[in-house]
C-alpha cells in the first residue's frame, strides 16, 4: 500500500493532467520498473479490429495532458491511426498499485518535434529506423542485418537524418481514468471526461 495522502482521492483533484504528471514523476522516482514510461497503446483498424502494443511515452505535457510517442509511420499502428485516430492507452505501475487509462485522439507531431527527438537517439537506433520496415514481412534475419549495414555505409562519416517515415504522434486525452489499489480490494477509481473544454470527474465502482 502506498501511503500518500496527497495523492489519494479523499478530495478529488480538479486537474487530471497535473495529477497524471505527479503520478509519472512518482513512477520515475519510486518505481523499480525500468520502463516506467511505457504505455500500452490500443488502436483499431478500418474494420474495427483492435490491436495493442507497448510504446514509450517520451514527452508529457502536464498542462494539456498530451502524450508524445515515436514510431514508424508505415507500421501497423500507424495504418490503424490513419483509419481511426481514436486510441486508448494504459499505463500500469505494479509496484505502486496504480493504473491510468487515457482515451483520446492522435495526430502526427510536428516535423520539428520529430527531428529534435530523433537527434537525441543513439546512432544505432537512428540507423535501425532507416533499416526497419516496421510491421512488414521480413524474409529472413540476414536481410535486416544487411539493411542496417547499408544504412551505416550510406551515412558514414556524417549525421543520420530522420527518415521521412519515422516520427512522433501526439495523443490528446478526452478522458483520463486513475485506478489506485487499496486494502481488501476496495480500490479507488476516478474518471475524468472532458466536457465542453472542462474536465468533469466522477468516481467509479472498482
Ligand atoms: C518496452 C517496449 C517499448 C517499446 N517502445 C516502442 C516505441 O516507443 N515505438 C515503437 O514504434 N515501438 C516500440 N516497441 C515495439 C512495439 O511494441 C511494437 O512491436 C512495434 O511498434 C510494432 O507494432 P505494430 O506492428 O503494432 O505497429 C516497444 C516494445 C517494448 C517491449
Domain extent listing, the chain: 5-118+163-204
pLDDT in tens, 119-169: 999 999 999 999 999 999 999 999 999 999 999 999 999 999 999 999 999
Q: Is the CB of 79 under 6 A from ligand 1?
A: no
- Run of H or E residues at 102: strand 98-108
Give the ligand 1 atom nearest the CA of 69.
8
Long-range contacts, 119-126 (Cβ 8 Å, 24+): 119/159, 119/162, 123/160, 126/160, 126/162
Using the mean position of ligand 1's atoms as its centre, give its distance from the Cα of residue 113 in Å. 19
Q: What is the SS3 string spanning 55-95?
A: EEEEEECCCCCCEEEEEECCCHHHHHHHHCCEEEEEEEECC
Q: At residue 7, does pLDDT exceed 60? A: no
Q: What pLDDT, on a 0 to 100 scale, did the predictor assign at position 184?
A: 82
Q: What pLDDT, on a 0 to 100 scale, did the predictor assign at position 2?
A: 44
Q: Is the CB of 36 under 6 A from ligand 1?
A: no
Read off the pLDDT band of 9 (50, 70, 90). Answer: confident
Q: What pLDDT, on a 0 to 100 scale, did the predictor assign at position 8?
A: 65
Q: Is the CB of 76 under 6 A from ligand 1?
A: yes
Read off the pLDDT band of 105 (50, 70, 90). Answer: very high
State the Cα angle at 82 between 49 and 40, rounded to 5°. 60
Q: Establish whether 185 is a catalytic residue.
A: yes
Q: Is the CB of 121 under 6 A from ligand 1?
A: no
Q: At residue 44, does pLDDT exceed 80? A: yes
Class of domain 5-118+163-204: mainly beta
Q: What pLDDT, on a 0 to 100 scale, did the predictor assign at position 42?
A: 98
Using the mean position of ligand 1's atoms as its centre, give its distance from the Cα of residue 53 in Å. 6
User: What is the Cα–Cα distance from 5 to 81, expressed in whole angstroms?
Assistant: 39
pLDDT in tens, 47-99: 999 999 999 999 999 999 999 999 999 999 999 999 999 999 999 999 999 99
Q: Which of 116, 185, 189, 203 is catalytic?
A: 185
Handedness of CA 100, 104, 106, 112 (dihedral sign): negative
Q: At residue 3, does pLDDT exceed 50? A: no
Q: What's the whole-model pTM score?
A: 0.95
Q: What pLDDT, on a 0 to 100 scale, did the predictor assign at position 6?
A: 45
Give 59's Cβ-side CA count (13 Å radius): 16
Read off the pLDDT band of 1 (50, 70, 90). Answer: very low
pLDDT in tens, 13-34: 999 999 999 999 999 998 788 8
Amino acid at each position: 500500500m502506498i501511503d500518500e495522502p496527497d495523492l489519494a482521492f479523499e478530495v478529488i483533484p480538479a486537474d487530471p493532467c497535473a495529477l497524471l504528471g505527479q503520478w509519472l514523476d512518482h513512477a520515475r522516482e519510486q518505481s523499480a520498473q525500468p520502463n516506467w514510461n511505457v504505455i500500452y497503446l490500443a488502436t483499431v483498424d478500418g474494420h474495427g479490429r483492435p490491436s495493442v502494443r507497448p510504446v514509450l511515452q517520451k514527452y508529457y505535457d502536464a498542462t494539456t495532458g498530451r502524450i508524445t510517442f515515436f514510431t514508424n509511420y508505415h507500421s501497423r499502428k500507424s495504418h490503424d491511426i490513419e483509419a481511426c485516430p481514436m486510441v486508448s492507452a494504459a499505463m500500469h505501475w505494479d509496484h505502486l498499485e496504480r493504473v491510468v487509462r487515457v482515451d483520446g485522439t492522435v495526430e502526427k507531431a510536428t516535423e520539428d518535434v520529430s527531428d529534435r527527438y530523433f537527434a537525441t537517439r543513439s546512432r544505432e537506433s537512428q540507423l535501425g529506423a532507416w533499416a526497419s520496415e516496421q510491421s512488414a514481412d521480413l524474409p529472413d534475419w540476414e536481410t535486416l542485418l544487411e539493411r542496417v549495414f547499408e544504412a551505416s555505409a550510406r551515412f558514414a562519416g556524417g549525421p543520420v537524418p530522420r527518415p521521412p517515415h519515422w516520427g512522433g504522434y501526439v495523443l490528446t486525452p478526452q478522458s483520463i481514468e486513475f485506478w489506485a489499489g487499496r486494502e481488501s480490494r476496495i480500490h479507488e477509481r476516478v474518471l475524468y471526461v472532458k466536457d465542453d473544454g472542462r474536465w468533469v470527474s466522477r468516481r467509479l465502482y472498482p
